Amino acid sequence: MLIQAQIHPVSGDRLLGGCNFIDGARTVVGFHHAMGVRNIVRLGCLALAVFLMMPSIRAEDENATVPLLERDQILGEWVTGNPLLTDRGVTLFGGYLAEVWGNTSGGIKAGAVYTGLLDFGAELDLEKAVGWHGASVSTIWQWLSGRDASEDLVGNFLTISNAAGFDTLRMMEMWFQQNLADDAVSIRLGQLTADSEFLISDYGGLFLNSTFGWAALANMNIPSGGAASPMGAPGVRVAVTPVEWFTFLSAVFQGNVFAQDVNRHGFRWRLDAQQGFTFFNEAQIGWNQREEETGLPGQFKAGAWFQTGQYADVLAGSTAAGNSGYYFIIDQMLVRESAEVVPGQNSSGKNFKESVSVAKPDQGLGWFSRMGFAPSDRNFVDYYFDAGFTYKGLVPGRDDDTVGVAFGYAQLSSGAQGGIASDGGTPAGAEMALEVTYQAAITPFFIMQPDVHTSLIPAVRPICKTPLSLAAARRWFFD
């Protein structure tokens, strides 16, 4: 059984880290010539906390009258809603995620593991702060902890938890962005992640298996998994939206982000011809995206990635130069629910006898699918496919709950199968994942998400029975 606890803000999906002001039984409050760096930092945190709280007394009084379970944020607005910050363009965000994964049958062994993730960061709107039109900066940090259920219990490569990784504190993103031409052009540079904008399905984001986010087509073929959570890399991204229904994205990243236990804190940067560069390009076409449009919204994406430089070719046991992959994505709402029927009005404001049904823009049945290819002579996965359905508001009275089912298929290349066989393994032709999940919004800041997951025909190790993992997830939201 998986128990997942996640603390996130409603707006930014991240958590603000706290400061520890107490040393033993005493609070550090003064300067002297022998004061250490730790005490100076603590004093700075204390001063910052007092500084932030002073203009928010009124906000605290207002939040005190709102019942806890009805608040949009569990902490109220004394930090992130503080006018001293928001009026100057500062947004603080972060979150905590705790998972307990349990494997009930099959795989390597039955058992349970804990996986944790703390992430936090800040964004600064430079137009509000200093009058720099269209400019902003952002940073996100992550602290991973615990174990990986796929590595310890199951033995598959379509990783069950998208929060699993090497236990450390790491800078994932730190970038500057400039928007131009009324936001039709956006340029972002710094430490970036590709999986925040490329190869992503909107409906697929509901699921916990990592392959429904950063697909195995990229994760298993790009050196060290590429610039994807929790590993960022130096890069530049350009987005152009000439018309509202079309966007073209192009980005270049450091070619090898290095293994997580090597690039422990996100600062192992190496930009040279030997390590090469990873290029991503993606075209996005959307329809019925505006609120006033009555048709069902959808989006189609087509993209490709290209790898330069020399990298280890695990299939040939040597080095290789150059690689690529190609993919297609579709997200489509199939059924949209209608809101409560309300009386219609004429131009004078008087009610008609007839009533008007108002559509709920985000509630209903949605479908997604992705398909991708990569050259079989140098990649572990040469064909990838996934698809799934989600339904928001299926249960009466639970408008913010979402249920979903998804299936993923990763086909091993002939070279990968031969390599596994030469190492004494018994490879299958592909690995598949099936996941069923239900995300329940208990309050605006607290979510539970039961989940059932099975890996079909794990391809890396010989496994007698199909692994089955169960989940019961919890998430808290702060702002």
Higher pLDDT, 52 or 203: 203
| Burial readout 344-374 (b: 16 or more C-beta within 10 A, e: otherwise) | eeeeeeeeeeeeeeeeebebbbbbbbbbbbb
Question: What is the band of 122 on the pLDDT scale with cuts at 50, 70, 90?
Answer: very high
Q: With 50 as the cut, is the pLDDT of residue 197 above it? A: yes
Q: With 80 as the cut, is the pLDDT of residue 35 above it? A: no
In tens, the pLDDT along 131-186 reads: 999 999 999 999 999 999 999 998 889 999 998 999 999 999 999 999 999 999 99
DSSP-assigned letter for residue 22:
E
Higher pLDDT, 77 or 115: 115
Query: According to the model, what pLDDT value does residue 386 have?
Result: 98
What does the pLDDT average to over 195-202?
A: 97
The residues spanned by each domain of the chain are 3-16+80-477
With vertex at residue 374, the alpha carbon angle to CA 422 and CA 274, rounded to the nearest 5 degrees, is: 80
Q: With 70 as the cut, is the pLDDT of residue 365 above it? A: yes
What does the pLDDT average to over 303-329?
A: 81
Q: With 90 as the cut, is the pLDDT of residue 45 above it? A: no
What does each C-alpha distance from 159 to 130, 165, 358, 478 come to in angstroms? 44, 10, 41, 28
In tens, the pLDDT along 419-440 reads: 776 766 666 789 999 999 999 8
Q: With 50 as the cut, is the pLDDT of residue 363 above it? A: yes
Phi first, then psi: give them for residue 161, nearest 5 degrees: -110, 130
CA distance 70 to 79: 18
Q: With 60 as the cut, is the pLDDT of residue 19 above it? A: no
Question: What is the band of 48 on the pLDDT scale with cuts at 50, 70, 90?
Answer: very low
Q: Identify the bridge partners of residue 120 per DSSP, sorted by sequence position.
A: 94, 141
What does each C-alpha distance from 281 to 120, 228, 340, 381, 446 come to in angstroms? 28, 15, 42, 20, 36
Q: With 90 as the cut, is the pLDDT of residue 476 above it? A: no
Q: With 70 as the cut, is the pLDDT of residue 478 above it? A: no
Q: Identify the bridge partners of residue 31 per DSSP, sorted by sequence position.
A: none
Query: According to the model, what pLDDT value does residue 378 have?
Result: 87
Q: Identify the bridge partners of residue 428 per DSSP, sorted by sequence position.
A: none
CA distance 390 to 201: 12
In tens, the pLDDT along 214-223 reads: 999 999 999 9
Average pLDDT, the chain: 80
Query: According to the model, what pLDDT value does residue 448 have?
Result: 82
Query: According to the model, what pLDDT value does residue 139 have?
Result: 97
Residue that is written with structure tokens 């298993």 in the block: 220
| Residue 361: cis peptide before it, omega within 30 degrees of 0 | no
Query: According to the model, what pLDDT value does residue 351 have?
Result: 57
Helix residue ranges per DSSP H, 185-261: 216-219
Q: What is the CATH number of domain 3-16+80-477?
A: 2.40.160.180
Residues 6+ apart with CB under 8 A from 138: 121, 122, 123, 124, 173, 174, 175, 177
266-280, 296-310, 352-366, 375-389: segment of lowest average pLDDT: 352-366
Beta strands in 15-55 (DSSP E): 22-23, 26-27
Question: What is the band of 261 on the pLDDT scale with cuts at 50, 70, 90?
Answer: very high
Q: With 60 as the cut, is the pLDDT of residue 340 above it? A: no
Question: What is the pTM assigned to this prediction?
Answer: 0.81
Kind of pairing between the strands at 381-392 and 90-105: unpaired
Q: With 50 as the cut, is the pLDDT of residue 33 above it? A: no
Quick count: other Cβ atoms within 10 Å of Cβ 287? 14
CA distance 137 to 174: 7
Higher pLDDT, 224 or 274: 224
Beta strands in 314-380 (DSSP E): 318-345, 351-373
Query: According to the model, what pLDDT value does residue 25 have?
Result: 31
Query: According to the model, what pLDDT value does residue 51 have?
Result: 44
In tens, the pLDDT along 74-109 reads: 666 666 667 788 888 999 887 788 888 888 888 888
Q: With 90 as the cut, is the pLDDT of residue 392 above it? A: yes
Query: According to the model, what pLDDT value does residue 355 have?
Result: 57
What does the pLDDT average to over 30-47?
A: 44
pLDDT > 70: percent of the chain: 71
What's the farthest any 2 CA atoms get from each other in the chain? 80
Q: With 80 as the cut, is the pLDDT of residue 271 above it? A: yes
